[in-house]
Amino acid sequence: MNETADILCFGAHADDVEIGMGGTIAKYVCKGKTVVIVDLTQANLSSNGTVDIRLEEANQAAQILGVMKRENLQMPDRDLLLSSDKIAKVTWVIRKYRHKAIFSTYGVDRHPDHGACTEIVKEAIFSSGIFHYLPDCPYPPVKVMKHYLYMINGFHTPDFYVDISDNMETKLEALRAYASQFSLQPDSVKTPLTEGYLSRVKNREFVYGQEIQCAYAEGFFHQSPFQVDTDWLG
């Protein structure tokens, strides 16, 4: 039986999704929507933290946000090059959850894995609708109509914003669960993430909020065609 989800989020590493759209996830969970997060790698090459520590932190963050499920596809960190096996793994997940919308990383980012993640997702989205692709997959093909991109390290002008004023603190709480990444521990090394990174994320969301006259917002891009329906006037 398929485990359906309203929102399916892909990131290269645990904490990517929370940085880019943790507030949006919290907002829609509060509205009764179901969310699944899929991390492509175990981030085993991270400067700080171990695979086990990061897995524990990821699960804690997922609980804080209220997501239905979190999966890790255990792809090689820093080796997210397009390949048939990676595309197949993501296609399998897309078919499994029968989502209403997919989110993945915006490619203009200082970390190459973030853009590579979405290249794999884009290929898998196309393949997920091909009837004869992965004939042994127990889940039927699915057409993906909504694919959006969230930002991690970037600060770009997005296509649209989501008001997260009531959810910013939940987002920050989820990010603080990644203590190995965002705070200096006795055995840590300094990285861009340990040097006030969460404050910069909060400031970015504050600036985005000013664009739509609210306290905080997250910005997104359309990867798929965007259809304006009857609610476009609000």
> What are the structural domain ranges in the chain?
7-222
CATH 1.10.357.10 fits 7-222, yes or no: no
Render 126-148 in DSSP notation, one character per residue. Answer: HHHT-TTSSTT-SSPP-----EE
Name the band, by pLDDT with cuts 50, 70 and 90, for residue 2: low
Q: Return the minimum-mean-pLDDT range out of 1-5, 74-78, 153-157, 167-171.
A: 1-5
Dig out the tokens for 181 from the structure. 């990444």
Side-by-side strand order, sheet with 35-41: 69-75, 35-41, 7-11, 101-105, 147-150, 217-222, 160-163
Q: What is the mean pLDDT of residues 168-189?
A: 95
What single DSSP character describes residue 10? E
Residue 230: predicted pLDDT: 53
Residues 167, 19 contacting (CB under 8 angstroms):
no
How much is the pTM?
0.94
- For residues 201 and 137, give the distance between their C-alpha atoms in angstroms, rounded to a whole number: 39
Q: In this structure, what is the dihedral angle of CA atoms 126, 130, 132, 138, given to the nearest 10 degrees? A: 90
Pick the closest to residue 47 from 111, 116, 105 (CA basis).
111
Residues 10, 122 contacting (CB under 8 angstroms):
no
